[in-house]
Amino acid sequence: MGISVRGVTKQFGSFVALDNVSLDVNSGSLVALLGPSGSGKTTLLRVIAGLEEPDTGTVYFDETDTTRVPIRQRNVGFVFQHYALFKHMTIRENIGFGLSIRKRPKAEINERVNELLKLIQLEGLAGRYPAQLSGGQRQRVALARALAAEPQVLLLDEPFGALDAKVRKELRDWLRRLHDQMHVTSIFVTHDQEEAMEVADQIVVVNKGRIEQVGSAQEIYNTPATPFVMSFVGPVNVLKPNNPLVKHLPPQHTSEKGEVFIRPHDVVILPHQESDSLPAEVNRITHLGWDIVIDLSLDSENAVAVHLTREDFRQLEGQLGELEVGQQVNIRPREARAFAQSVI
Ligand SMILES: Nc1ncnc2c1ncn2[C@@H]1O[C@H](COP(=O)(O)OP(=O)(O)OP(=O)(O)O)[C@@H](O)[C@H]1O
């Protein structure tokens, strides 16, 4: 089932939550709506679900205009951040609930629930109650429940938002694998760029009720369409026009507005001074597992952050000796981007 959103606008009072949004979601794909808090992601998901009626615009499921079709008739499955499973029902009963109220035969319900329990790898826990499961297991049950009635579209609103980092990571991998088996057209909301990049086929970057860019993780990271996308997806240094690094760049890397974006891994720390290098002073060294962040000051007003892999860091220390705060180094930008619009 493909989904097409055309010119959707939604206001709450005078506040414009969605501003003329158009989006195509291919049948069978897994799409992330990524954006900061309040950008309109949930509102867009709710409009697609039929939980919210847009002021203007149309939502198509395949060729059918579903804008005013009630949620019950849309055949969508929903998973929320805090999906309250029924506490007094076992896992088996929770998963089968939607089928029971549709008065499906018991044998059919049993069969479907067994299938789903296997899919979410909780076969052994069918007789437990939600309180006896971990948060991650509960979300898997919530997902199985949403899938029970074989929805044509699966909508997930920050499904792993309430879980700790390790469980989130496991569930992401698991959701991706599950999707590869099921191929249900799925849209999930997240404000976590890493989550979007890891799980989704396509990422829709939402900002202030508008879509800034749609693309694969690689596309939005390597060729961001706007300053917002560049600064929201992946770490970045936003340099003011008077930053010495900017003056150091070839003209094609500078914009009319003067702001320049440089990814921290696109600044190279050199072992020696070179004719095109720039002096900088080490302000701080932070070890973040595989990445090492080195904050450098270029003069009294301007700074830049550099990310090195542990391997690069080790190599650099082999050439320079142990790096210390206050040490003078030489740097060179490798890659930079500028946009016609301003972000600062
Ligand atoms: N029913 C409502 N009444 C009034 N304002 C609303 C309503 N629903 C959403 N909004 C406002 O619309 C804006 C977009 O909300 P939405 O929930 O879509 O954002 P979001 O991107 O999902 O954010 P978050 O990640 O924080 O959930 C917010 O400023 C919110 O306060």
**What's the CA gap between 113 and 10, in Å, rounded?**
38
Q: Predicted ipTM?
A: 0.93
* Atom 31 in ligand 1: residue holding the nearest Cα: 38
Report how far ligand 1's centroid is from the alpha carbon of 43 (Å): 6
Taking the CA of residue 13 as reference, the ligand 1 atom at the shortest distance is: 4
**What's the CA gap between 219 and 202, in Å, rounded?**
9
Taking the CA of residue 40 as reference, the ligand 1 atom at the shortest distance is: 18
Global confidence as pTM: 0.87
Q: What DSSP element (H or E) covers 42?
A: helix 41-49
Report how far ligand 1's centroid is from the alpha carbon of 47 (Å): 12
With contact defined as beta carbons under 8 Å apart, do 47 and 202 qualify? no
Q: Select from 204, 203, 139, 145 the least CA-distant residue to 171.
A: 139
* Atom 4 in ligand 1: residue holding the nearest Cα: 12
pLDDT at 92 over 50: yes
Report how far ligand 1's centroid is from the alpha carbon of 44 (Å): 10
Name the segment(s) of the chain with CATH classification 3.40.50.300: 3-232
Name the segment(s) of the chain with CATH classification 2.40.50.140: 237-333
* Atom 16 in ligand 1: residue holding the nearest Cα: 40
Q: How confident is residue 335, by pLDDT bands cut at 50, 70 and 90? A: confident
Cα–Cα distances in angstroms (integers) from residue 6 to residues 1, 65, 301, in the given order: 16, 10, 46
**What's the CA gap between 232 and 218, in Å, rounded?**
14
**What's the CA gap between 214 and 34, in Å, rounded?**
10
Is the backbone of residue 166 left (phi > 0), alpha (psi -120 to 50) or beta? alpha
* Atom 3 in ligand 1: residue holding the nearest Cα: 12
**What's the CA gap between 93 and 99, in Å, rounded?**
10
Sign (positive or negative) of CA dihedral 240, 242, 243, 249: positive
- Give the mutation target among 11, 21, 37, 48 for probing the ligand 1 site: most ligand atoms within 8 A of CB: 37
Q: Give 58: exposed, middle or buried? Use CB within 10 Å, 0-12, 13-18, 19+.
A: middle
- Ligand 1, pocket residues at CB < 6 Å: 12, 15, 17, 35, 37-43, 189, 191
- What is the full DSSP assignment across 186-250? EEEEES-HHHHHHH-SEEEEEETTEEEEEE-HHHHHHS-SSHHHHHHSS--EEE-TT-HHHHTS-
**What's the CA gap between 304 and 308, in Å, rounded?**
13
With contact defined as beta carbons under 8 Å apart, do 280 and 260 qualify? no
* Atom 18 in ligand 1: residue holding the nearest Cα: 40
The pLDDT, as a whole number, for residue 344 is: 43
Report how far ligand 1's centroid is from the alpha carbon of 110 (Å): 39
* Atom 12 in ligand 1: residue holding the nearest Cα: 17
Q: Select from 275, 273, 323 the least CA-distant residue to 296.
A: 323
The pLDDT, as a whole number, for residue 254 is: 63
CATH of domain 237-333: 2.40.50.140
- Give the mutation target among 14, 16, 42 for probing the ligand 1 site: most ligand atoms within 8 A of CB: 42
Q: What DSSP element (H or E) covers 141?
A: helix 135-147
Averaged pLDDT, 196-225:
95
- Give the mutation target among 9, 12, 195 for probing the ligand 1 site: most ligand atoms within 8 A of CB: 12
- The encoded tokens of residue 249 equal 């760049």
Strand partners, 157: 189
Q: How confident is residue 43, by pLDDT bands cut at 50, 70 and 90? A: very high
Report how far ligand 1's centroid is from the alpha carbon of 54 (Å): 14
Q: Between residues 101 and 48, which one has the greater pLDDT?
A: 48
Maximum distance among all Cα pairs of the chain, rounded to whole angstroms: 79
Taking the CA of residue 35 as reference, the ligand 1 atom at the shortest distance is: 21
Strand partners, 10: 18
**What helix, strand, coil percent values describe the chain, rounded to 5?**
35, 30, 35
- The encoded tokens of residue 221 equal 């990271």
The pLDDT, as a whole number, for residue 226 is: 92
Share of the chain above pLDDT 90, in %: 61
Q: Which residues contact 58 (CB under 8 A, 6 or more apart)?
A: 5, 6, 7, 8, 65, 67
- Residue 221: helix, strand or coil by DSSP? helix
Taking the CA of residue 39 as reference, the ligand 1 atom at the shortest distance is: 21
Report how far ligand 1's centroid is from the alpha carbon of 196 (Å): 20
**What's the CA gap between 236 and 264, in Å, rounded?**
6
Q: Between residues 253 and 77, which one has the greater pLDDT?
A: 77
Q: How confident is residue 255, by pLDDT bands cut at 50, 70 and 90? A: low
- 93-107, 166-180, 234-248: range with highest mean pLDDT: 93-107
Report how far ligand 1's centroid is from the alpha carbon of 15 (Å): 10
* Atom 30 in ligand 1: residue holding the nearest Cα: 38
With contact defined as beta carbons under 8 Å apart, do 203 and 215 qualify? yes
CATH of domain 3-232: 3.40.50.300
Quote the radius of gyration of the chain (alpha carbons, Å).
Answer: 24
Residue type, 167: V
pLDDT tens figures, 271-324: 888 888 899 999 999 998 888 999 999 998 899 999 999 999 999 999 988 999
